[in-house]
Structure formats: C-alpha cells, structure tokens
Amino acid sequence: MEMARRFLILLQRELAAFFLSPMAYFVLAMVMGLNGVAFRFATALMDGRIQPHSLVSLTFNSFWFRMIFFFLFPLLTMRLFAEERKMGTFETLMTAPVRVSEVVLSKYLACLIFYCALWVPGLGNFLLFRMVTGSSTAFPDGALLASALLLLLLGAFNIALGTLASALSRNQIVAAVAGGTLVLMHFFLGFLAGFAKVSASVLERVTYFSSLDHINLFAQGLIDSRPVIYYLSATAFLLILTHQAIEHRRGGI
Amino acid sequence: MVPLSQARAHALPSQRSRMIHVQGLTKTYRGRAVVDGISFEAGRGEIVGFLGPNGAGKSTTMRILSGFLLPTAGKVEIAGHDVVEQSLAARRHVGYMPEDVPLYPEMRVEEYLRYRAGIKGVARDRLTAQVEATMERCGVAQVRRKLIGTLSKGYRQRIGLADALVHDPSILILDEPTNGLDPNQIRSVREIIRSLAGQHTVLLSTHILAEVEAVCERVIILDGGQIRATGDPATLARRLERGSRVTLEARGATEAVLRKIQGVTKITSDALADDWTRFHLDVQGTEDPRETIFRTASREQWTLRHLSMEPATLEEIFAGLTAPQPQ
C-alpha cells in the first residue's frame, strides 16, 4: 500500500516533468509533423494507382517514419537520470526512502506513457482518413492494431535503451548521443545484414533482431510472437542493467 | 598546542539515546581514502557540527549517513538501523539537505514540499497540515505559489531546510546550510536550526568557526578524512586559539618596548626607508592588543603610520592541528 502510493507519487512527478516542459510540446509537434508527412506521402503513393501494400504498410515503411525514430528516443530519454545528476536533485531523490527500482520504473513508465501519447495523433490520421473517405479498403483494421502494438513494443525497448544511457552519464548530450547510437545500431541491423557478406544462417539470426523486418511484418497485420517476446525480455534486461548501474554508483562517489 | 587527535570525546550525556552511531567509517575512491576510519556518536536532540576545510571528507560522510553513498568499510547506524542493510528504514529517520541545495526549478514551493512529503511517507491525512507547519517554520509560506527557479538563494536554502524537515525526522543532516547566504539570511537559518535542538538530532557541516560556536553543542573537526578533535566549541576554541598577528609601521619604536606589551610572543622587524620600521607581532589571547599598542606609541612618542591586525585563519588553525607536535 505504502509502496504503491510512493510509486504513484513518483510517477506523477515524472509525468509532470514531461508534460510541463516546453521540450515535450516541441517533440510532440515534430512527431505530428513527420507523421503527417509520412501519411501524406503514403496516400499520394496510393492515389490513382494499384498498390500491393496497405496505407498502414506504406506509412510505417516510409523514410519519414524512420526519421521520427532517429531523434525521438534520445530526446525523450536523455534527461531522465542525467538531468537529475547534473542538477544534484538525484541526491535528494535517492536519500528519500525510495527504492532504486521504484525510481527506475517510475521514470521509465512516465517516458513510455508520454511516448504513447505522442502516437495518438499519428494513429488518428488513419481513423480520420477512413471517416473522410468512407473507404475501408485502404487498410485492414488488423494492420493498424498490429502496428500500434509494435509501436508500443519498439517504444518499450528503445526507451529502456535510452534510460540505461541516461543512467550512465551526468551529461545529457553524452546520454543522448550514446542512447541514439545504440538505438540506431539496433534499428539498422536489418540494413547491415544486407550490405555485409554474411551466410544465410547469420542473416536469419540478425533478422530476428531487426526492427525493420518487424515493422514490415506487423504493418501487414501479422502478429509474430517472437518479436513480442524479444522486445519484452530485452526491455526487462535493460531495466535491470539500469538498476544495477545506479546501485553501482552508490558504491562509487 | 595540545595534541587533540587522541582527545576524541566519546563521552555523551548518558540520558540521551544514541541516534547516530559511526564506527570505523572508511570511504575510498580510486584507492584514496576520502574518509579514513572515523568514529563518532550523536545523541537525541544534540546539535553536532562538522568543522573542516574543503575536501576534509565532511560531505562524503554526510552522503553516507543519508544513504546516498555506500561505505567502503565500517558501520553506520541511524536511529538503530544499519545504513547498508536497512537503508530504507534508516532513510526514513533522516532529513538531509545536500550542499548547494538542489531543487526542481520548474516546481512551485508548496507543490515541491507536498511531493517530498509524499515520497517520504507522510500520511495522506496529515500531509497538508505537516507541509503547512513546515512552511511556516521555515518562513517560506509567503512564496508557496512561486516557481522555485525564480526565488533567491536565501529562499532556496530555506526550502531545502523545509524539505529536510517536512517528514519530521528525528535526525537532520545539513551540509553547509548557510553557504552563500548574506548575514541576515545566515541569522535566520541559524535561528531555525537552533530551534530544532532538543527534539531533533542535528549534524551540520561548515568551514566557518564562528558558525559552530553560534549553533553547535559539540564539534567534530575533520581533516584529511580523519577526526582531529572533538569537544564543545568553547573549549575547542580556547585550545585552538592561536591569537592574532599585528602589523605596525612606526618611527622611533624599539622591540624592547614592544615586547613588554601583554600577550606578545614573537616580534620580527624590517627596516624600511626613511627610518621607518615594520614590526610583526604574534599576540596570544582573544583581546585586541591594538589599543595598548597605540597608547604605548603615544606615550613613547613614536610616529605611527600603520597599525593592523588579522585574526588567525581557519587554515592556520588546521595547520596547527595537523603539524607535528613539538615536545
């Protein structure tokens, strides 16, 4: 009971830190803008042509959608721990009777909630499209639902990656660059496999981790359980690492 | 100078229960001992001052006591709870104000204190009253709606103090609570701290000698990560008294006459141009010797063009404490 209350207070504070900062609305505006462009390009591709892909597939496989991916996670996660450490408020936070796990989870969850809120307008585009055109042929419902699920999973994983980067540095820029690099490297696994001369068995293993392939799959409305398990377990692992990194620092100075 | 390092006063008023118990506390950082095997205790309601130059290990010790850092070796108990094994229980008893008072600039004063009271486990039905009382006590009630980032250093310091106090802890750990304040603000912060004596055990750090004399019942002098002396401030101040150094420039003055002035222990002189001589006098005791020197000069009909005094600095006191003792 006491633990639950403490966690809710921490979560509330972290959410307030997101929604009360001007940066949040700047990020929201950028994501909406890029989403809009990705969506508009996808509808343009469908305009008067026969397409083997649905509107959902075209949107989420577009260059513009990937752009969102590149800057979003570092921007969202860089301040989580780095800012508190820099300002010294980490000291007041950690000397209150709170567990490290509660702090890590509250920061992580607040970030994930904010991330989900960022996608509401983007997914709204599709519903709006359907309302305006009255056509249900542009995309199947399943494709949209599966894509939404994958967006959540990708967010969960990449935010955990960024959270770890932020816990490792007191400099936000360093945290952003480190987190961003990790996110990009993971995201581009699918591309790298295409460039490098690797055997088919290696390629298959790399594909298992490749977000690009996952997006392709889920955007068709196919929910594969392997990526679901992969993202969830990797997220848990990264959060445990974050916890350990912070515990480890208490032993330092 | 009396060797004080052996004079660790473990004696505590026996009727007071032990709130802080530190035994052989060591913290090493990259092979260097920042805190080197210190032991001390503090009883209920006592105000204890940590005095020492920068880098003496004051902040590190306080960070360990507040649960922010883990000790490398040694045992620390806060209200009977081990800070490593029962960290959460120990932290519940501590109100900690770090150096430079970190706060969230985007939060409002009352909002911040409510948040802090909440995570420190103040019960929901008592929270409003508790925050209200703490704001009154620390004199921040009139700025409750202000954003912390817009407030002055004096207010920020008092908000930090209110934060440390908001869950009514039995132990307060304040790292340089008056650092960077103007004299009026220093006075008001000291008054708040003094008003805590009796119910709260207060451990505060400072590098200002006058501060310990003004607030603390007991002083622990730290240097190089070790305890150099402990005791009540008055005794310690007397033991540490190295007196002052007087500089005078006069024409016609002689060392022989100056030596007769009470408290003068050592005289050095430099001949200056035009028959002027500059004298440096080491004077013992707390009295200002300048009046006597002036009267002597006028009686002896010296021409005086400069007379000044500097009290012994804390650095000199520490140098004295850490220097090898003459037998």
Q: Which residues are CB-neighbours of B151 under 8 A, at least 6 positions away?
A: B109, B143, B159
Q: What is the pLDDT of residue B1?
A: 39
Question: Three-state SS for B176?
Answer: coil
Beta bridge partners of B27: B35
pLDDT at site B11: 42
Give which of A198, A211, A84 is closest to A156, Cα–Cα.
Answer: A211
Mean confidence (pLDDT) of chain A: 88
Measured distance CA(A139)–CA(B195) in Å, rounded? 71
**Pairing state between β B201-206 and B171-175:** parallel
Closest residue of chain A to B100, computed from CA coordinates: A88
Q: Does residue B167 have a pLDDT over 90?
A: yes
More confident position, A9 or B180: A9
Whether the Cβ atoms of residue B240 and residue B284 lie closer than 8 Å to each other: no
What pLDDT does A24 receive? Answer: 86
| Chain B closest-CA separation from residue A191 CA (Å) | 42
- Tell me if B119 and A98 make a contact (CB, 8 A cut-off): yes
| pLDDT of A220 higher than 60 | yes
Query: B172, B98, B107: which is closest to B146 by C-alpha?
Result: B107
Q: Poorest-confidence range of A38-47, B32-41, B115-124?
A: A38-47
Whether A27 has a pLDDT exceeding 60, the answer reads: yes
C-alpha closest to that of A210 among A143, A123, A150, A146 = A150
Q: Give A253's pLDDT tier (boundaries 50, 70, 90).
A: low
Residue A199 confidence (pLDDT) above 60: yes
Output the pLDDT for position B232: 80
What residue of A is the nearest CA neighbor of B65? A95
Q: In what order do the strands lie in the sheet with B73-78?
A: B32-43, B18-29, B73-78, B81-82
CB contacts of A17 in chain B (<8 Å) are 104, 106
> pLDDT-based confidence at B5, cuts 50/70/90?
very low
**Higher per-residue confidence, B9 vs A3:** A3
Mean pLDDT, residues A161-188: 88
Q: What is residue B161's predicted lDDT score, i.e. its pLDDT?
A: 94
Residue A184 has pLDDT above 90, yes or no: no
pLDDT score at A88: 92
Delimit the domains of chain B by residue range.
Answer: 18-240, 244-311
- pLDDT band of A77, cuts 50, 70, 90: very high
pLDDT classification of B14: cutoffs 50, 70, 90: very low
Higher pLDDT, B270 or B316: B270
The pLDDT score that the predictor gives to residue B6 is 38
pLDDT band at residue A193, thresholds of 50, 70 and 90?
low
Contact B309, B290 (CB under 8 A): yes
In which band, very low, low, confident or very high, does the pLDDT at B319 lie, cut at 50, 70 and 90? low
| Nearest one of A184, A175, A177 to A81, comparing CA atoms | A175
Nearest CA to A116 out of A86, A78, A153, A77 is that of A153
Under the banding of pLDDT at 50, 70 and 90, the label for residue A62 is confident
On the question of pLDDT at B182 being above 70, the answer is yes
Q: What class has domain B244-311?
A: alpha beta
Q: Alpha-carbon distance A136 to A130, whole Å?
A: 6
Query: Is B119's CB within 8 Å of A10's CB?
Result: yes
What integer is the mean pLDDT of A148-162? Answer: 94
Per-domain residue ranges of chain A: 2-251
Of A41-55, A80-94, B10-24, B136-150, the poorest mean pLDDT is in: B10-24
Question: Which pLDDT value is given to residue B311?
Answer: 62
Q: Compare B326 and B66 and report the one with higher pLDDT.
A: B66
Q: Which of A25-39, A92-106, A119-133, B12-26 has the highest mean pLDDT?
A: A92-106
Distance from CA of A219 to the nearest CA of B (A): 40
Instruction: Test B68 with A87 for CB contact under 8 angstroms.
Output: no
Those residues whose C-beta lies under 8 Å from the C-beta of residue A31, and which sit 6 or more positions away, are: A68, A72, A118, A119, A121, A122
CA distance A47 to A154: 30
Which residues, at least 6 apart from A115, have a Cβ–Cβ distance to it below 8 Å? A72, A76, A155, A159
CATH number of B18-240: 3.40.50.300
User: Over pLDDT 90: what percentage of chain A?
Assistant: 40
The pLDDT of B41-52, averaged and rounded, is 90
Using a CB–CB cut-off of 8 Å, the residues of A that contact B are: 2, 5-6, 9-10, 13, 16-17, 20-21, 87-92, 94-99, 250-253
Q: What is the mean pLDDT of the segment spanning B116-138?
A: 94
Candidate from A189-193, B76-80, B268-272 with smallest mean pLDDT: A189-193
Q: What is the pLDDT of residues B211-248, one digit of tens each?
A: 887 888 888 988 889 998 888 877 766 666 656 788 88
Tokens of A35: 């989403």
ipTM (interface pTM): 0.87
- pLDDT tens, B185-202? 888 888 888 888 888 999
Shortest CA gap A87–chain B (Å) = 6
Query: Contact at 8 Å (CB) between A200 and A179?
Result: no
| Contact criterion met (CB < 8 Å) for B67 and A9 | no
Give the number of A-B residue pairs with CB atoms closer than 8 Å: 70
- CA–centroid distance for B224 within its chain: 16
- In this prediction, residue B3 has a pLDDT band, given cuts at 50, 70 and 90, of very low
- Determine the Cα–Cα distance for residues B293 and A92; give it in Å rounded to an integer: 53
Model confidence at B325: pLDDT above 80:
no
Show the tokens assigned to B311. 């009290």
Instruction: Flag if A89 and B102 touch (Cβ within 8 Å).
Output: yes
Mean pLDDT for chain B overall? 85
